Amino acid sequence: QVQLVESGGGSVQAGGSLKLSCAASCADPRYPCSAYSMAWFRQSPGKEREGVAVIYYDGRTHYGASVQGRFTISRDNGKSMYYLEMNSLKPEDTAMYYCAAARSPGWGRLWASDFHHWGQGTQVSVSS
């Protein structure tokens, strides 16, 4: 069983920065959290869920076009934590942000259907 808990959301002004955290718990000793690829998705009311970033088991990363150059995903395998550093925030970044995990997601893509373990989300609000 994989459990994910997000934290770090809040309200910031446009141009500011915010760092989100996701704490992962992976119960099966055969498949530690370090074996998973981990991602961030976001969704606002009335819009489809959008892929933000993914970090694969080998450390490679892929970002959605709307956040490329502004957001950075990272992981700390020793703590079973992963992070999303958000810079130069814009009002359109306002959304509920979810962390997700998968054993073998597709390479170079952010499809929600590839991910089977999800957190409950943390709200990010960016004011102009």
Task: Check residue 116 and give its pLDDT.
Answer: 95
Give the burial class of 114: count Cβ atoms within 10 A of its Cβ; 0-12 exposed, 13-18 middle, 19 or more buried: middle
pLDDT tens for the chain, 128 residues long, are 899 999 999 999 999 999 999 999 999 999 999 999 999 999 999 899 999 999 999 999 999 999 999 999 999 988 999 999 999 999 999 999 999 999 999 999 999 999 999 999 999 999 99
Task: Check residue 80 and give its pLDDT.
Answer: 92
Phi, psi angles (nearest 5°) of residue 112: -60, -30
